[in-house]
Structure 1
């Protein structure tokens, strides 16, 4: 993609306003938290204290709107604690420009590494730097700095208390994640009726798994609708694909295909009904016609062979889902204690420390986009701060704050947010500045207007960054008006500083980029490796059913999903960048991704037909697994190095297996054939350098 087209796409993305589901009660609760903090500090303290505490309350509330499975009160407290520490350190160094610049460089470098932990941590860390830049402009002593710091922490405590006292749709994000996964599998079942090889994005299942990770206390208190559903739903997806596939399932036409379509439609209807009940916390209303279709017909089974086994398995899994929605059932051990182990364990706050350290250590290498982002962020924040100190304008922090708020580890988000930030600031500053200049509101009216802006921010946060920037700009202007400093700077100066900060951020990425495009082959090779381990685990389970380790197959599947998500994220980012890969065009990358995705899909089809532990083994499956184990690591290295893919061991093992299977090959040998074809498609899709 050329620079002109990349910038055009960034402008379009940054100015896009999306229609999304609003949560007015949650927005009102967050705005009330800000109002309580501002009102108390105005009544008992001073306008300067009100401004400082209001930033803490706003940022703590903003953290609770991020996509996280952690309890919302914990997010508010964690954000407030980080903001308090950041503010106090800034106050200590704020008296000396050189000392503050050095401290800002170190602190920004450390907070930039928070993106290694996750996007929520990265966003909270960004606010920490922004608040440091804003609040230290309010003059105070060391004792006053302690007071400001305590007030910022108090804002987080207020937000957390309101969440506990006035819960709005508790467990809502977990309900939505599980309901979205159910609805996604239901939609997949309906699409399979017309397209037997329709693709399925496992992202919804990955999010549902993340939402299911709980501490023991959360597991004891979770609603019964969130218990026992995710496992059957994940297994249903594989059985649906196996049933619909014309190679390993029912024939493409005929009575068996009609029966398969009926089963697929009925499964979709049942899963939709369960999803609706989970999302709303209501009893499940099952469609009678769909439940009747998920039974063996009165005239006898229509399907036979592998399709019949898949259909019976599907009926059993749907019955498990329905049974799990009948009401709460508590597992009790022989000693009379409740069994709380049937959930994904989530580490508590102390247990997060080694997790965070491992994540940061993993990204502490020069090739890491996170480390390069941290260095870039630190350089821009310090240079912007030093530059504006030489300008005659008041509140020059607006420029480095803009840079910090728009910068992200990838090119697309940084440039899109830069455009959105300027457009939103233009609107927010123009409206807020006009109100302050024309009406000259007092402290109380300015506080009311600030609360109104933050309420709109919480309400419209997910509609687009331009809208959020407009609300934040108005909020900051009215906060400064509380302290009598709102008119100290013209609208033109604020816009100029915003443009300066955005230009610094965009220039920094152009000068010191962290392009995703050169990493595409590595991401694809990682996906090949993960899919290879998944395929080897499944074929070995067919070879030696008695030695089958379900946990090994499950872990391999999760690794394959994570590798696929990393590839898709990398590809999406690369397609927004104004650089090209030397030998991997957009078409070849998509073709290669389709081939590797087919490898995972074929393995999933075979996983749906895993034999029972007492079933006889298939030695040919073991030989094929050994050939895969020999071939795929070398194939991944060939993908990285742009070399031809050698596939001879896989083809040789497949031919021997097919010779022994005769004219009626089983599901396993048919899946092995499809897997070999996927490897051939991958080899054909990827160009390689001449040797």
Structure 2
């Protein structure tokens, strides 16, 4: 008797609901527990529980938006969306019960919300709060006078902001130091596998370095408009991060040509530098390093000593590191440029129209349909098609799964917990789960948020268990609207952007190699490395997003994977060649560099158009001392693997 086959979920579904691994954010969990429950305590004690529920909703928005590590960014990520949320609930409340007028108002807000999401991460969260609170204001009766609801929501947001910033005087730059130290530790882990024959392990560590360094730059550059003096702490941290670039480049050279893999002292020394960054140690530890035996080893030795000197320097850092990445634009100029780009971007308009169409359909069912739908329909649309450019299909599936799980928990709570004071400890426990669920993934965040919103709505309306059925049915209906009107009907839903971002990364790599061997300055070199890290990080992010989509998107993304790896190796090979040339190896001829630039341009063109490549003119490795030989080999691999996917 044969055993029945196991039911295995599709790959895209498994990728969608697989939890992210990582430590639990205990401080954020504690803040969320207090911020969601304290307003309810105040409201019940004052005899106005609905006021406490509204303030708790404002705190919930702050909990969701508090994702950045640096305090300045956390301040912006909580405070700015609260202002947009106050505007949203005011406009929504004015449209409450107004039929088609409410549909028009929410659709217009959705258009604006979707368009401003193209500006950046902060604008995306602000757009989400604008639309989310507008939906709540149009779906629930708000207390009089008109300014009460926005005031209470803002007070709830200020509470989570206050709890978040309590540690600022004591740990002002701790998150920034932690980001730089994490980048150094990732490079130490890379050196631990330098020279290994297991290319998959080396590639994984190199990818981790790219993500860590890019994340550290994102954290530090957010401060440049505020802390730009030659002795400012952010300038020192930026100099320490810049000093990591030569060390990272040397790792690529050592991997191909050095003997560093047999010397664990190097990885230990980099870890020691990370400890110095994290602890702000000024006394340099003794560097016990092996005797260098060639250009690659000399590059590692010199890079380590340079990084140690920068980290432990008591005075201003060399190379004017505060200006290495360019002076920040004045804020008014940045706002004007972002607004102009938003209004002229086809992508921005298309996404805004998608969101407006879905919200318009959802609100039509609520405001003018005889079916008697609740505001949970547009609320589900807002969360699934929220203003960013993530996976719509994946979020719809995760929203449905998370809502079902969250409602099961809410059903148990409403069945056994009486309304009133008994809700306070329940909200504390559920609130603590939201940051944990947010760190694990969208489905887990939805599962933790759904019962909180349900309890807040029950406090305001007193409907209790009667809310269960409408929320589940209307949330699933909202997901269905997004899948049809926001996903299936749009041509871009059926293709992946991996190729476009990969082509841009290859073009930037071609431009970089044209300058890399022409004696570019240290500052220009750091700026180019920063740009390439951003490109590669963008490619990886889009690749991971596409894997959560069903066929054909997921299969198209999988087909790009060999080329993604090949391009990352090309970037590493360029760094290795440059480092070897600077430390004693014979520099390449200008014509050889020009030829490789041409081959990279052709590769980028092929990725965009699907043209056929001829590898015959890419020279194989012919001389052992040719610093470009490994680069040519990686280029031949990339030009070979692009052929099978030129039509995907």
TM-score category (smaller protein): 0.7 to 0.9
- Secondary structure of the structure 1 residue equivalent to 2:612: coil
SS in 2 for 1:192: coil
User: What TM-score results when the alignment is normalised by the length of structure 2?
Assistant: 0.84
Q: What's the offset of the Cα at 1:680?
A: 3.0
* Distance in 1, Cα, partners of 2:580 & 2:397: 52
**Residue 282 and residue 535 in structure 1: after superposition, are their counterparts in 2 closer, same or farther (change >3 A)?**
closer
Shift, 1:83, TM fit: 0.6
Q: Equivalent residue of 1:385, what SS?
A: helix
Give 1:581 deviation, angstroms.
8.2
Give CA deviations for 1:336-375 in whole Å, capped at 9, x if unaligned: xx9976787556765651353255246x21xx3x544332
In the TM superposition, what whole-angstrom CA distance separates every residue of 1:593-617 from its partner, at most 9, and x where no partner exists?
34433332221112213549xx999
Residue of structure 2 in register with 1:233 after alignment: 244
| Correspondence for 2:314 | 329
TM-score normalised by the chain length of structure 1:
0.79
Q: Is the contact made by 1:108 and 1:374 (CA closer than 8 Å) also made in structure 2?
A: yes
SS of residue matched to 2:297: helix
Aligned equivalent of 1:596: 567
Q: In the aligned structure 1, how far is the partner of 2:224 from the partner of 2:240? A: 18
Instruction: Write the distance in 2 (CA, Å) between the matches of 1:516 and 1:173.
Output: 39
- CA apart distance, 1:59: 0.5
Partner of 1:685: 641
Q: Distance in 2 between matches of 1:283 and 1:549?
A: 29
CA deviation string 1:119-174 (max 9, x = no partner): 45324422332222123333347x62212112222222233233333448544442
The match for 1:212 is 220
Residue 338 (structure 2) aligns with: 356
2:589 equivalent among 621, 627, 650: 621
Offset, 1:396: 0.6
Helix, strand or coil at the partner of 1:212: helix
Q: Which moved more, 1:344-353 or 1:444-453?
A: 344-353
1:673 maps to which residue? 629
Give the conservation status (yes or no) of the 8 Å contact 1:450–1:476. Answer: no
Structure 2 matches for 1:307-326, cutoff 5 A?
A: 307=294, 309-326=295-312
8 Å contact from structure 1 (residues 239, 313) kept in 2: yes
Look up the match of 1:89.
91
- Deviation per CA, 1:188-226, whole angstroms, max 9, x where unpaired? 111114239633222221112222212354466648983
Determine the C-alpha separation between the residues in 2 that align with 1:6 and 1:111: 38
Instruction: Look up the match of 1:21.
Output: 23
Pick from 529, 537, 553 the counterpart of residue 507 of structure 2.
Answer: 529
Q: Could you say which residue in structure 2 is the equivalent of 1:148? A: 149
> Which residue number corresponds to residue 254 of structure 1?
none
Alignment-derived partner of residue 485 in structure 1? 462
Alpha-carbon RMSD across the aligned residues, in angstroms, is: 3.9
Residue aligning to 2:62 = 60
2:473 to 463, 471, 496: 496
- Match of 2:253? 242
Q: How does 1:554-633 map to 2 (within 5 A)?
A: 554-580=526-552, 589-611=560-582, 621-630=589-598, 632-633=600-601
Query: Which residue number corresponds to residue 393 of structure 2?
Result: 415
Query: Which residue pairs with 2:380 in the alignment?
Result: 402
CA contact (8 A) 1:436 1:486 kept: no
> Comparing 230-239 with 461-470, which one deviates more in the overlay?
461-470
Tell me how far apart the structure 2 counterparts of residues 403 and 422 of structure 1 sit (CA, whole Å): 11
Q: Deviations over 1:45-70 (max 9, x none)?
A: 73332222221122023211356774
The 8 Å contact of residues 127 and 387 in structure 2, kept in 1 or not, is answered as: no
1:449 counterpart residue number:
426
Distance 1:435 1:563, change over 3 A: closer
SS at match of 2:643: coil
Match of 2:165 in 1: 164
Displacement, 1:395? 7.0
1:69 and 1:343 map into 2 onto residues whose CA distance is: 22
When residues 194 and 9 of structure 1 are mapped into structure 2, their CA distance, relative to the original with a 3 A threshold, is closer
What is the rounded CA distance, in whole Å, between the counterparts of 1:375 and 1:532 in structure 2? 36
Does the aligned pair in 2 maintain the 1:93–1:99 contact within 8 Å? yes
- Distance apart, 1:638 and its partner CA: 3.7
Distance 1:397 1:375, change over 3 A: same
Deviation at 1:446, TM superposition (A): 2.8
- Unaligned stretches of 5+ residues in structure 1: 251-256, 542-547
Q: In the TM superposition, what is the alpha-carbon distance from 1:84 to its structure 2 partner?
A: 0.4
Structure 1 residue 85: Cα displacement: 0.9
Cα distance in 1, alignment partners of residues 27 and 600 from structure 2: 53
- Counterpart in 1 of 2:4? none
Partners of 1:570 and 1:516 lie apart in 2 by 14
Structure 2 distance, partners of 1:549, 1:283, is: 29
1:12 paired residue among 2, 9, 14: 14
Q: In 2 relative to 1, CA 435–210 (structure 1 residues): closer, same or farther, beyond 3 Å?
A: closer
Whole-angstrom distance in 2 between the partners of 1:632 and 1:317: 28
Q: Is the 8 A contact 1:525 1:640 kept in 2?
A: yes
| Partner in structure 2 of residue 545 of structure 1 | none
| Residues 445 and 616 of structure 1: CA distance in aligned 2, closer, same or farther (over 3 Å) | closer
* 1:82 Cα offset (Å): 1.0
Query: Would the alpha carbon gap of residues 180 and 397 (structure 1) be closer, same or farther in structure 2, given more than 3 Å must change?
Result: same
Q: Distance in 1 between matches of 2:276 and 2:88?
A: 44
